Amino acid sequence: MLTSIDSDGRMKGFDNELLSKFDNLKLKIPYIVCGGIGNSKNITDIFDSSNCSGVVIASALHYNKISVTNIKKSLLDRNYIFRI
């Protein structure tokens, strides 16, 4: 799990610089991104710009910033395969 402690709980998007640096390590292991998700676009941006296997979403769901329905729609619109 790759967590951005600087972004965690802020709901302003994941730390893309951290994500890019991690992907540049060229590790061949699955990883999950956590910290900063605030809307469905943040989720699709992560999948579009990284090799991550999944995304953890907490505060945005707890505080009703996004819904599971919106997340599913965003991911289905982009033909992502997912489980919720």
Position 84 pLDDT exceeds 50: no
40: CATH: 3.40.50.12600
In one-letter notation, the amino acid at residue 39 is N
Total domains present in the chain: 1
- Dig out the tokens for 58 from the structure: 């907490």
Element (DSSP H or E) covering residue 33: strand 32-34
Asked if residue 84 belongs to a domain, the reply is no
* pTM, entire model: 0.80
Q: What pLDDT band is residue 21 in, cutting at 50, 70 and 90?
A: very high
- Across 20-84, the runs of DSSP E, i.e. the strands, are 32-34, 54-56
In a domain, 82, yes or no: no
Q: In this structure, how many other beta carbons lie within 10 angstroms of the beta carbon of residue 72?
A: 14
43-68 confidence digits (pLDDT tens): 999 999 999 999 999 999 999 999 99
Instruction: Write the CA distances from 57 to 20, 24, 71, integer angstroms.
Output: 19, 24, 10
pLDDT at 81: 65
pLDDT value of residue 77: 79
The domain in which residue 23 lies consists of: 2-77
With respect to residue 15, please indicate whether it lies within any of the assigned structural domains. Answer: yes
